[in-house]
């Protein structure tokens, strides 16, 4: 498998559920990112992991919890979400500390009921 | 602060015609990379083309070319011979690395391109 993959592609969950989004990159990169894309809003950077260390957290609510066990895998753990958290969640990877391209996965479309 | 501006929320273009999508940027960092991504209705963000701030020549990738005018801080995307499959949202983005080593990727608000048969 090549590129950046994300699972699941679609997720519907209740506000009391706990779920996790998974991202895997096969590009040999050492930085991974979570973005949130809501309808009619610019893309929002949520978390950055560079060399497996979290280097940025843009004031994301604690109901979103990232995990990066190695340079190829990234998770986003979700718990007690709100309906306004419904969005497309995109994972990306790149070479850290360069101006090289970020490559994106296909995204997980999340709906919170 | 980094900023990307895309002033065309939507465009309609006849099939087989060329189309130019506008993008202007603002940064105080001397080194930066400029990108264009295509996002079809499926949601995937597809990388199209890259231009480095020190590149002398405009980038080209097949039917895509980037009209880079550094003095004007513009990085317009040109799609030649448009096809129905080009209908999508198009995002301009800029990646910078500060003197402290902080990297940032900033996106514009996007342009929705619709190709008319």
**Do the Cβ atoms of A41 and A86 come closer than 8 Å?**
no
Question: What size, in residues, is chain A?
Answer: 113
A102 touches chain B (CB under 8 A): yes
Mean pLDDT for A31-58 is 87
Kindly tell me the burial class for residue A63, based on how many C-beta atoms sit within 10 Å of its own C-beta (0-12, 13-18, 19 or more).
middle
> Closest-CA residue in chain B for A42?
B109
Mean pLDDT of all residues in chain A? 91
A38 touches chain B (CB under 8 A): no
The 3-class secondary structure across A77-105, one letter per residue, is: EEECCCHHHCEEEEEEEECCCCCCCCEEC
The reply to whether residue B97 touches residue A107, judged by beta carbons under 8 angstroms, is: no
pLDDT at site B101: 67
The reply to whether residue A107 touches residue B32, judged by beta carbons under 8 angstroms, is: no
Burial A12-49 (b: 16+ CB within 10 A, else e): ebeeeeebebbbbbeeebbbbbbbbbeeeeebebbbbb
Q: Where does the pLDDT of residue A1 fall: very low under 50, low under 70, confident under 90, or very high at 90 and above?
A: low
Pick the residue with more confidence: A15 or A75?
A: A75
Q: What is the DSSP string of chain B?
A: --EEE---SEEEEETTS-EEE--EEE-S-S-EEEEEEEE-TT---EEEEEEETT-SSPPEETTEEEEEETTTTEEEEEESS--GGG-EEEEEEEEEE-TTS-EEEEE---EEEEEE-
Instruction: Give the gap in angstroms from C-alpha A104 to the nearest C-alpha of chain B.
Output: 6
A45-88 confidence digits (pLDDT tens): 999 998 878 887 778 999 999 999 999 999 999 999 999 999 99
Of A88, A90, A99, the CB nearest to B95: A99
pLDDT at site A96: 85
Q: Where does the pLDDT of residue B97 fall: very low under 50, low under 70, confident under 90, or very high at 90 and above?
A: confident
**How much of chain B exceeds pLDDT 90, in percent?**
81
B33 touches chain A (CB under 8 A): yes
Between the two ends of chain B, the Cα-to-Cα distance in Å is 41
B57-90 confidence digits (pLDDT tens): 999 999 999 999 999 999 999 999 999 999 999 9
Mean pLDDT for B14-27 is 97
Of A55, A99, A109, the CB nearest to B97: A99
Q: Where does the pLDDT of residue B100 fall: very low under 50, low under 70, confident under 90, or very high at 90 and above?
A: low
């Amino acid at each position: 498998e090549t590129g950046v993959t994300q699972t699941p592609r679609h997720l519907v969950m209740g506000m009391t559920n706990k779920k996790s989004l998974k991202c895997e990159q096969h590009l040999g990169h050492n930085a991974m990112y979570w973005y949130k894309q809501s309808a009619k809003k610019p893309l929002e950077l949520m978390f950055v992991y560079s060399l497996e260390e979290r280097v940025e957290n843009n004031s994301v609510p604690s109901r979103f919890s990232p995990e990066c066990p190695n340079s190829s895998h990234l998770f986003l753990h979700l718990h007690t979400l709100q309906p306004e958290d419904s969005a497309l969640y995109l994972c990306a990877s790149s070479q850290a500390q360069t101006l090289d391209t970020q490559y994106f996965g296909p995204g997980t479309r999340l709906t919170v009921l | 602060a980094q900023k990307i501006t895309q002033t065309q929320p939507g465009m309609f273009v006849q099939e087989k015609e060329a189309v130019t999508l506008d993008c202007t940027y603002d940064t105080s960092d001397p080194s930066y990379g400029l990108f264009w991504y295509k996002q079809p209705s499926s949601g995937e963000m597809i990388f199209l083309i890259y231009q480095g701030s020190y590149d002398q020549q405009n980038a080209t990738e097949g039917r895509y070319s980037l009209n880079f005018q550094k003095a004007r801080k513009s990085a317009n995307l040109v799609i030649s011979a448009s096809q129905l499959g080009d209908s999508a949202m198009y995002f301009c983005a800029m990646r910078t690395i500060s003197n402290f080593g902080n990297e940032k990727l900033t996106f514009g608000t996007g342009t929705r391109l619709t190709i008319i048969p």
